Amino acid sequence: MNAYIFPGQGAQFVGMGKDLYETSDEARALFEKANDILGFSITNIMFNGTDEELKQTRVTQPAIFLHSVVLAKVLGDSFKPDMVAGHSLGEFSALVSAGALSFEDGLRLVAARANAMQKACELQPSTMAAILGLDDFTVEDICQQVSDVVVPANYNCPGQLVISGTIAGVDAACEKLTAAGAKRALKLNVGGAFHSPLMESARVELEAAIVATNIQAPVCPIYQNIDAKPYTDPEKIKQNLIAQLTGAVRWTQTVQHMLEDGATSFTEVGPGNVLQGLVKKVDRGVATASASIN
């Protein structure tokens, strides 16, 4: 069974998607439509911008979404997913690629999500940190011992968990986690505390947009971040998308569930190969690849 996986924020690089734009009329039309919908030339930033410009949340999220979704559409008949999943933002790419959301609605939601998250970041200084070399339970337990806001945010693979919260909360947790034996507690260069209670204002803002958007049953199950389980029911998918902003990304558990349900290969659709590396950390023997039009 073919599992297709879609990356999230952090996978971007300058030049991403340019090959698609230059070699496919269908891709070019979608990119130009995106420029119109967003009201600025995202293709110019993606193809010719600076790392700093591309790193802004309002740019990064639609850029990665575009690269993933346009690539999936250009693959045409060779894109035959038996199951899909996306890491954080990638969940929207997965839904569009699996036919649950239209390209236009997906892009509008991603743009609204990025803007809402940017605003939430500006409300309160906050951050995230990657914790390496500890089991999930220890990280969860220590986060609960800290008085400031700090929570597990991304269960990326066994031994790699990202925490998220106020700067004081993350600093205090990093100190305790290092004392508990973490190999590294590495602060991340991110705009704020994604997938934590500090994103509540963004969740409220995005909820109305998601509720108002038409979501259909996807062509195959989507394994959603909030609980790593497969869904095809549009209403459940909507609820899980809303909960995702303040809830953790359970990527480790998602890959485990996909393997248990019969996944034999994982194809990453979009920029980079980070997710393939995370899949290999769960099961070294499983086949992984990057989607390509060549």
Query: What would the pLDDT profile of 242-254 be if each residue is shown by its tens digit?
Result: 999 999 999 999 9
- Is residue 97 pLDDT above 90, yes or no? yes
In percent, how much of the chain has pLDDT > 90?
92
pTM: 0.96
Specify whether 102 is catalytic. Answer: no
**Average pLDDT, integer, range 38-65:** 94
pLDDT greater than 90 at residue 181: yes
Judge whether residue 294 has pLDDT over 80.
no
Mean pLDDT for the stretch of residues 110-137: 94
- Structure confidence at residue 189 (pLDDT): 80
With a CB cutoff of 8 Å and minimum separation 6, the contacts of 7 are 64, 68, 86, 87, 90, 268, 270, 271, 272, 274, 275
164 is catalytic: no
What's the pLDDT score for residue 126? 94
* pLDDT above 80 (res 60): yes
Residue 229 has pLDDT above 80, yes or no: yes
**Of these residues, 88, 93, 97, 196, which one is catalytic?**
88
CA distances from 65 to 30, 85, 163, 210, 236 (A): 12, 13, 24, 16, 22
How many other β-carbons are positioned within 10 Å of the β-carbon of residue 167?
A: 15
CA distance linking residue 94 with residue 244, whole number of Å: 14
Angle, vertex CA 277, rays to CA 159 and CA 239, nearest 5: 75
Active-site pick, 67, 87, 195, 257? 195
Does residue 81 surpass a pLDDT of 80?
A: yes
Residue 291: the pLDDT is 95
Tokens of 56: 């802004």
For the segment 185-195, what is each residue's pLDDT rounded down to a tens digit? 999 888 789 99
